[in-house]
Chains A and B, each alone.
Chain A
């Protein structure tokens, strides 16, 4: 799998390259600023881009804005954004074009290497992965919604894991139940939230997140 990395801190950039190479990804280019990121993405067209939110030259949300701009030029380009902080407002902007996979994770999630690598693969294959912090904030924000109140605690848990981009198998393993139970739960969730069931993982997550966003 071909990857472009944008990270301005050399230590972290090297660390990311090391982790990804050790897990048999091909890092085609590693850049350290916004304009270079757009150039690199349009040239290499990688399977997934891993982007730090804060990049030179502005040192604000240059990375995020460059990624969104690159995706305008390459529709559907999978993007995984890493950040020292997660902000719902950024998650919303990332998903605003409703096309293609996005990931939005706290930088420290990288330290759980297995989970991080799995997340990168999921985004590359078209799923959406949200940081648990974003998901829990979204759920708290919407907790007054009567539709969400109808969910049982178990279903709530499944919804959260789903929004984090986990597959039914992963959710089953995490909750110590069978995959069939998870799929029952998810069907109930879709019914209660008034969403049409779909086989497509990516659309499922997008639909859930779209609902949570309001």
Chain B
């Protein structure tokens, strides 16, 4: 524990040595950028501004990554508006109008100050600690005039022996460094996050874009589903009912003269109703399985497990019934993942675990987690088949996610999650 804590602080010390010159570079970039803008009116400044913008954004990206790693958060998406593929003045205008551009610039200025308060201070504590700890040695090794006044003119050293008096200051500074290093680095990361992270507005814009995409996909999927149902009804049950009517009509006509043929026709008619019913049953199962309506997710998954050639274990921890759309989405996602595993994995044993965790991410919503794991040959990926991608699309409509862990040789674990209110 102490070892890793110390290693972490040493690595932060290393980062200070990178970030401090970085701040200087940032100041240079800011100057370059502001200079190139001010001469943009002359024409020559335009390409220079564009170049400076690319550099600034690259530089800001590096800091975003550093801050995200420091704070243990995902790297925020770039907040910049896309640059249009047009003439340079238009591009420049887009860049100038982008609030993210100005936030970058403000950050460059602020950073050149705050970096000294965070990384600089931390580095200073460490250096002071080391210097005071080794003061007698330094005093001894350097010309006698150089290190005679360690605390300014008021206090003058006259011998090596006196310099030992400063050694206790070493541990004090090192302790100060040890205690403050992580906090100061985090402070720096927070400044970066505040100024370079997406604004609330940018976040909302990204969310709207994502919702629009997932809604378009949902609408497409729904429309496709309706077309499939229409086609199945038209080609299946409807056609069978017509043929049934025809058989009965002919039977009616033949009744007085050929009772034997009528018997045959009636038998055929009965067959037709059976087939029509079978088709309707399959169709309904595909839309909403009756056992899901009757027994909820728990019962439906157990029923699903019962009819499989491979032994399937189902473990559920659910607080009673979930909202119907969630139950349905979860059921079809698990069913698809299960049939994927049966078809491709060559597994001996499949395990389904479904759990509901309330108050996910501190919000009012809970999270439903579904795990389908098998001991098969592995190598499954979202890109390799349509099955898993279909689930991803289904879940996306609910802001759900799917991840696959399936090294070649197995085992495979498909993890799906759906945010929901219980």
Given A85-B290, A89-B302, A108:B309 Cβ within 8 A: no
| In the bound complex, CA of A54 to CA of B307 (Å) | 21
Q: Is the CB of B281 within 8 A of A144?
A: no
B34 at the interface (CB under 8 A from A): no
List the A side residues contacting B284 at CB < 8 Å: 85
List the B side residues contacting A87 at CB < 8 Å: 290-291, 303
A178 at the interface (CB under 8 A from B): no
A96 at the interface (CB under 8 A from B): no
Q: From the candidates A60, A89, A144, name the one contacting B306 in the complex (CB within 8 A).
A: A89
The chain B residue with its CB closest to the CB of A91 is B306
| In the bound complex, CA of A207 to CA of B295 (Å) | 27
B219 at the interface (CB under 8 A from A): no
Q: From the candidates B277, B303, B311, name the one contacting A88 in the complex (CB within 8 A).
A: B303
List the B side residues contacting A137 at CB < 8 Å: 306-307
| In the bound complex, CA of A141 to CA of B293 (Å) | 24
List the A side residues contacting B295 at CB < 8 Å: 60-61, 89
B221 at the interface (CB under 8 A from A): no
Q: Is the CB of A61 within 8 A of B294?
A: yes
Nearest-Cβ distance from residue A60 to partner chain B, whole angstroms: 4
A184 at the interface (CB under 8 A from B): no
The chain B residue with its CB closest to the CB of A89 is B303
Q: From the candidates B277, B291, B299, name the one contacting A108 in the complex (CB within 8 A).
A: B277
Q: Is the CB of A88 within 8 A of B307?
A: yes
Q: Is the CB of B277 within 8 A of A141?
A: no
List the B side residues contacting A191 at CB < 8 Å: none
A200 at the interface (CB under 8 A from B): no
Q: From the candidates B270, B302, B306, name the one contacting A141 in the complex (CB within 8 A).
A: B306
Q: Is the CB of B291 within 8 A of A89?
A: yes
Q: Is the CB of A111 within 8 A of B273?
A: yes
A43 at the interface (CB under 8 A from B): no
A24 at the interface (CB under 8 A from B): no
Q: Is the CB of B308 within 8 A of A141?
A: yes
Q: Is the CB of B303 within 8 A of A143?
A: no
List the A side residues contacting B302 at CB < 8 Å: 89
| In the bound complex, CA of A45 to CA of B293 (Å) | 31
Q: Is the CB of A143 within 8 A of B281?
A: no
Q: Which of A89, A107, A140, A144 has the most CB of B within 10 A?
A: A89
Q: Is the CB of A89 within 8 A of B290?
A: no
Q: From the candidates A61, A85, A89, A111, name the one contacting B274 in the complex (CB within 8 A).
A: A111
Q: Is the CB of A141 within 8 A of B294?
A: no
Q: Is the CB of B294 within 8 A of A111?
A: no
Q: Is the CB of A84 within 8 A of B290?
A: yes
List the B side residues contacting A88 at CB < 8 Å: 303, 306-307
Nearest-Cβ distance from residue B300 to partner chain A, whole angstroms: 9
Which residues, 72 to 108 on A, are CB-close (under 8 Å) to B? 84-85, 87-89, 92, 106-108
A199 at the interface (CB under 8 A from B): no
| In the bound complex, CA of A112 to CA of B278 (Å) | 15
Q: Is the CB of B290 within 8 A of A141?
A: no
List the A side residues contacting B270 at CB < 8 Å: 111-112
List the B side residues contacting A89 at CB < 8 Å: 291, 295, 299, 302-303, 306
Nearest-Cβ distance from residue B311 to partner chain A, whole angstroms: 8
Question: How does the 8 Å CB contact mask read for B354-384 relative to A, with 1 for contact and 0 for none?
Answer: 0000000000000000000000000000000
| In the bound complex, CA of A16 to CA of B34 (Å) | 89
Q: Is the CB of B277 within 8 A of A140?
A: no
| In the bound complex, CA of A85 to CA of B286 (Å) | 13
| In the bound complex, CA of A61 to CA of B296 (Å) | 11
List the B side residues contacting A144 at CB < 8 Å: 309-311
Q: Is the CB of B306 within 8 A of A108?
A: no
Q: Which of B274, B294, B306 has the most CB of A within 10 A?
A: B294
The chain A residue with its CB closest to the CB of B281 is A85
List the A side residues contacting B310 at CB < 8 Å: 144
Q: Is the CB of A143 within 8 A of B299?
A: no
Nearest-Cβ distance from residue A12 to partner chain B, whole angstroms: 12
| In the bound complex, CA of A92 to CA of B303 (Å) | 11
List the A side residues contacting B308 at CB < 8 Å: 141
Nearest-Cβ distance from residue B157 to partner chain A, whole angstroms: 88
List the A side residues contacting B278 at CB < 8 Å: 108
The chain B residue with its CB closest to the CB of A213 is B306
Q: Is the CB of B274 within 8 A of A60?
A: no
Given A89-B302, A108-B277, A140:B307 Cβ within 8 A: yes
Nearest-Cβ distance from residue A156 to partner chain B, whole angstroms: 15
| In the bound complex, CA of A143 to CA of B306 (Å) | 12
Q: Is the CB of A85 within 8 A of B291?
A: yes
Q: Is the CB of B307 within 8 A of A84?
A: no
Nearest-Cβ distance from residue B204 to partner chain A, whole angstroms: 41
The chain B residue with its CB closest to the CB of A88 is B306
| In the bound complex, CA of A112 to CA of B271 (Å) | 9
Q: Which of B274, B290, B295 has the most CB of A within 10 A?
A: B290
List the B side residues contacting A143 at CB < 8 Å: 309
List the A side residues contacting B273 at CB < 8 Å: 108, 111
List the A side residues contacting B281 at CB < 8 Å: 84-85
| In the bound complex, CA of A54 to CA of B277 (Å) | 17
Task: List residues of chain A with CB under 8 Å of any chain B CB.
Answer: 54, 60-61, 84-85, 87-89, 92, 106-108, 111-112, 137, 140-141, 143-144
A selection of 21 A-B contacts at a CB cut-off of 8 Å is A60-B295, A61-B294, A61-B295, A84-B281, A84-B290, A85-B281, A85-B284, A87-B303, A88-B306, A89-B291, A89-B299, A89-B303, A92-B306, A107-B277, A108-B274, A108-B277, A111-B270, A111-B273, A141-B307, A141-B308, A144-B310
Q: Which 8 A-B pairs have the closest CB atoms?
A: A60-B294, A61-B294, A89-B303, A108-B277, A88-B306, A137-B307, A85-B290, A111-B270
Known: A108-B274, A112-B270. 12 other contacts (CB 8 A): A54-B290, A60-B293, A60-B294, A60-B295, A84-B281, A88-B303, A89-B291, A89-B299, A107-B277, A137-B306, A141-B309, A144-B311
